[in-house]
Amino acid sequence: MNLVFLGPPGAGKGTMASRLAEEMGIPHISTGDMFRAAMARGTELGLKAKAIMEAGDLVPDELTIAMVRERLDEPDARNGYILDGFPRTIPQAEALDGFATIDRAVRFELAEDQLVRRLSGRRVHKPSGRIYHVDFSPPKEPGKDDATGEPLIQRDDDKEDAIRNRLKVYHEQTAPLVSYYEKKGMLTTIDASPRPDAVYEALKKALE
Protein backbone atom coordinates (compact mmCIF):
# COMPACT_ATOMS: atom_id res chain seq x y z
CA MET A 1 0.00 0.00 0.00
CA ASN A 2 1.32 3.46 -0.95
CA LEU A 3 0.26 5.99 1.63
CA VAL A 4 0.58 9.74 2.09
CA PHE A 5 0.37 11.15 5.63
CA LEU A 6 -0.93 14.72 5.71
CA GLY A 7 -1.44 17.15 8.51
CA PRO A 8 0.07 20.09 10.35
CA PRO A 9 3.43 19.82 12.09
CA GLY A 10 2.92 18.37 15.56
CA ALA A 11 -0.10 16.23 14.72
CA GLY A 12 1.86 13.02 15.22
CA LYS A 13 2.39 11.95 11.59
CA GLY A 14 5.97 10.86 12.20
CA THR A 15 5.16 8.78 15.27
CA MET A 16 2.26 7.04 13.53
CA ALA A 17 4.15 6.57 10.27
CA SER A 18 7.14 4.96 11.92
CA ARG A 19 4.93 2.57 13.90
CA LEU A 20 2.73 1.57 10.98
CA ALA A 21 5.65 1.22 8.57
CA GLU A 22 7.37 -1.13 10.97
CA GLU A 23 4.26 -3.25 11.40
CA MET A 24 3.62 -3.38 7.65
CA GLY A 25 7.28 -3.99 6.77
CA ILE A 26 7.43 -1.04 4.38
CA PRO A 27 9.68 2.04 4.48
CA HIS A 28 8.73 5.21 6.34
CA ILE A 29 9.88 7.98 4.03
CA SER A 30 10.06 11.30 5.86
CA THR A 31 11.33 14.19 3.75
CA GLY A 32 12.12 16.14 6.93
CA ASP A 33 14.32 13.24 8.14
CA MET A 34 15.97 13.02 4.72
CA PHE A 35 16.81 16.74 4.76
CA ARG A 36 18.11 16.50 8.34
CA ALA A 37 20.30 13.53 7.34
CA ALA A 38 21.63 15.50 4.35
CA MET A 39 22.40 18.42 6.68
CA ALA A 40 24.23 16.15 9.11
CA ARG A 41 26.32 14.72 6.26
CA GLY A 42 27.03 18.25 4.99
CA THR A 43 25.96 17.46 1.40
CA GLU A 44 25.12 20.18 -1.11
CA LEU A 45 21.41 19.48 -0.61
CA GLY A 46 21.87 19.68 3.16
CA LEU A 47 23.62 23.03 2.90
CA LYS A 48 20.85 24.41 0.68
CA ALA A 49 18.15 23.18 3.07
CA LYS A 50 19.71 24.26 6.37
CA ALA A 51 18.69 27.92 6.70
CA ILE A 52 15.31 27.29 5.09
CA MET A 53 14.47 24.54 7.56
CA GLU A 54 15.70 26.44 10.59
CA ALA A 55 13.29 29.25 9.72
CA GLY A 56 10.45 26.78 9.22
CA ASP A 57 10.06 27.58 5.52
CA LEU A 58 9.73 25.01 2.74
CA VAL A 59 12.65 23.70 0.71
CA PRO A 60 12.04 24.49 -3.00
CA ASP A 61 9.72 22.05 -4.78
CA GLU A 62 12.19 21.00 -7.46
CA LEU A 63 14.80 19.86 -4.92
CA THR A 64 12.23 18.07 -2.79
CA ILE A 65 10.51 16.36 -5.71
CA ALA A 66 13.81 15.12 -7.16
CA MET A 67 14.84 13.71 -3.78
CA VAL A 68 11.54 11.82 -3.33
CA ARG A 69 11.50 10.55 -6.88
CA GLU A 70 14.94 9.02 -6.38
CA ARG A 71 13.96 7.53 -3.04
CA LEU A 72 10.85 5.83 -4.48
CA ASP A 73 13.08 4.14 -7.08
CA GLU A 74 14.90 2.24 -4.33
CA PRO A 75 14.06 -1.47 -4.25
CA ASP A 76 12.61 -1.35 -0.72
CA ALA A 77 9.82 0.95 -1.91
CA ARG A 78 8.46 -1.57 -4.40
CA ASN A 79 6.01 -3.19 -2.00
CA GLY A 80 4.62 0.00 -0.53
CA TYR A 81 5.68 2.98 1.56
CA ILE A 82 4.46 5.72 3.82
CA LEU A 83 5.28 9.26 2.73
CA ASP A 84 5.45 11.50 5.80
CA GLY A 85 5.70 15.24 5.13
CA PHE A 86 5.48 14.91 1.36
CA PRO A 87 3.71 16.28 -0.61
CA ARG A 88 3.49 19.64 1.12
CA THR A 89 2.42 21.81 -1.82
CA ILE A 90 0.05 21.34 -4.76
CA PRO A 91 2.94 21.21 -7.30
CA GLN A 92 4.55 18.44 -5.21
CA ALA A 93 1.29 16.46 -5.21
CA GLU A 94 0.91 16.87 -8.96
CA ALA A 95 4.49 15.77 -9.55
CA LEU A 96 3.99 12.76 -7.28
CA ASP A 97 0.96 11.71 -9.34
CA GLY A 98 3.27 11.64 -12.35
CA PHE A 99 5.68 9.06 -10.92
CA ALA A 100 3.74 7.14 -8.26
CA THR A 101 0.34 5.63 -7.60
CA ILE A 102 -0.96 6.65 -4.20
CA ASP A 103 -3.67 4.48 -2.63
CA ARG A 104 -4.73 6.72 0.26
CA ALA A 105 -3.99 10.05 1.87
CA VAL A 106 -4.45 10.02 5.64
CA ARG A 107 -4.98 13.39 7.24
CA PHE A 108 -4.23 13.87 10.96
CA GLU A 109 -6.34 16.63 12.45
CA LEU A 110 -5.52 18.57 15.62
CA ALA A 111 -6.40 22.02 17.03
CA GLU A 112 -3.76 24.73 16.82
CA ASP A 113 -3.16 25.17 20.58
CA GLN A 114 -2.53 21.42 20.87
CA LEU A 115 -0.06 21.54 17.97
CA VAL A 116 1.95 24.27 19.66
CA ARG A 117 2.01 22.33 22.95
CA ARG A 118 3.16 19.17 21.24
CA LEU A 119 5.87 20.83 19.15
CA SER A 120 7.34 22.96 21.90
CA GLY A 121 7.62 19.93 24.23
CA ARG A 122 9.01 17.56 21.61
CA ARG A 123 12.48 16.11 22.19
CA VAL A 124 14.35 13.86 19.80
CA HIS A 125 17.09 11.25 20.03
CA LYS A 126 18.94 12.24 16.88
CA PRO A 127 20.74 8.98 15.97
CA SER A 128 17.58 6.82 16.12
CA GLY A 129 14.86 9.39 15.43
CA ARG A 130 13.03 8.33 18.61
CA ILE A 131 10.56 11.00 19.65
CA TYR A 132 9.61 12.00 23.23
CA HIS A 133 7.54 14.75 24.81
CA VAL A 134 8.47 16.42 28.09
CA ASP A 135 4.91 16.01 29.45
CA PHE A 136 3.03 13.49 27.30
CA SER A 137 5.71 10.90 26.60
CA PRO A 138 8.69 11.66 28.86
CA PRO A 139 11.87 9.59 28.80
CA LYS A 140 12.60 7.52 31.93
CA GLU A 141 15.40 9.93 32.82
CA PRO A 142 14.86 13.60 31.87
CA GLY A 143 16.78 14.62 28.74
CA LYS A 144 18.06 11.10 28.00
CA ASP A 145 17.14 8.44 25.46
CA ASP A 146 15.59 5.34 27.09
CA ALA A 147 17.53 2.81 25.01
CA THR A 148 21.00 4.38 24.90
CA GLY A 149 21.07 7.03 27.66
CA GLU A 150 22.32 9.51 25.06
CA PRO A 151 21.14 13.15 25.23
CA LEU A 152 17.87 14.25 23.65
CA ILE A 153 17.76 17.48 21.65
CA GLN A 154 15.14 20.03 20.72
CA ARG A 155 14.93 20.60 16.97
CA ASP A 156 15.80 24.21 16.04
CA ASP A 157 12.50 24.44 14.20
CA ASP A 158 10.60 23.35 17.33
CA LYS A 159 11.43 26.71 18.94
CA GLU A 160 8.61 29.22 19.20
CA ASP A 161 9.23 31.57 16.24
CA ALA A 162 9.84 28.70 13.85
CA ILE A 163 6.73 26.88 15.12
CA ARG A 164 4.53 29.90 14.33
CA ASN A 165 6.03 30.16 10.86
CA ARG A 166 5.63 26.44 10.17
CA LEU A 167 1.95 26.61 11.09
CA LYS A 168 1.48 29.62 8.81
CA VAL A 169 3.26 27.83 5.97
CA TYR A 170 1.07 24.77 6.61
CA HIS A 171 -2.15 26.78 6.32
CA GLU A 172 -1.02 28.62 3.20
CA GLN A 173 0.70 25.88 1.23
CA THR A 174 -0.12 22.43 2.59
CA ALA A 175 -3.75 22.67 3.78
CA PRO A 176 -4.99 22.92 0.15
CA LEU A 177 -3.86 19.30 -0.27
CA VAL A 178 -6.76 18.21 1.91
CA SER A 179 -9.25 19.13 -0.80
CA TYR A 180 -6.86 17.93 -3.52
CA TYR A 181 -7.08 14.37 -2.15
CA GLU A 182 -10.69 14.74 -1.05
CA LYS A 183 -11.76 15.51 -4.64
CA LYS A 184 -10.02 12.34 -5.77
CA GLY A 185 -11.97 10.36 -3.14
CA MET A 186 -8.70 9.30 -1.51
CA LEU A 187 -8.85 11.12 1.81
CA THR A 188 -9.25 9.57 5.26
CA THR A 189 -9.34 11.92 8.26
CA ILE A 190 -8.13 10.81 11.69
CA ASP A 191 -8.66 12.71 14.94
CA ALA A 192 -5.12 13.09 16.27
CA SER A 193 -6.12 14.40 19.71
CA PRO A 194 -6.38 11.12 21.72
CA ARG A 195 -3.38 9.33 23.21
CA PRO A 196 -1.02 7.69 20.67
CA ASP A 197 -2.29 4.10 21.11
CA ALA A 198 -5.86 5.19 20.42
CA VAL A 199 -4.85 7.22 17.36
CA TYR A 200 -2.91 4.20 16.08
CA GLU A 201 -5.92 1.90 16.49
CA ALA A 202 -8.15 4.39 14.66
CA LEU A 203 -5.58 4.61 11.88
CA LYS A 204 -5.42 0.84 11.42
CA LYS A 205 -9.19 0.56 11.41
CA ALA A 206 -9.48 3.32 8.81
CA LEU A 207 -7.05 1.50 6.52
CA GLU A 208 -8.69 -1.93 6.76
Stretch that binds ligand AMP, among 21-29, 73-81, 82-90, 123-131 (CB under 6 A): 82-90
- Helix (H/G/I), strand (E/B), else coil: 128: coil
The residues, any chain, with a CB within 8 Å of residue 97's CB and separated by 6 or more, are none
> In whole angstroms, what is the distance from residue 75 CA to residue 73 CA?
6
Residues in the chain: 208
Neighbours of 16 (CB within 10 A): 25
Work out whether 125 is an interface residue with ligand AMP (CB under 6 A): no
Using CB under 6 A, which of 29, 31, 118, 203 touches ligand AMP? 31
Quick one: which of 196, 19, 198, 186 has its CA closest to 103?
186
Strand partners, 4: 83, 105
Concerning whether 88 is annotated as a catalytic residue, the answer is yes
Stretch that binds ligand AMP, among 18-26, 51-59, 72-80, 135-143 (CB under 6 A): 51-59
**Using CB under 6 A as the criterion, what x/- string covers residues 142-171 for binding ligand AMP?**
---------------x--------x-----
- Known catalytic residues are 13, 88, 122, 155, 166
Chain residues in the site for ligand AMP (CB under 6 A): 9, 31-32, 35, 52-53, 56-59, 64, 85-88, 92, 157, 166
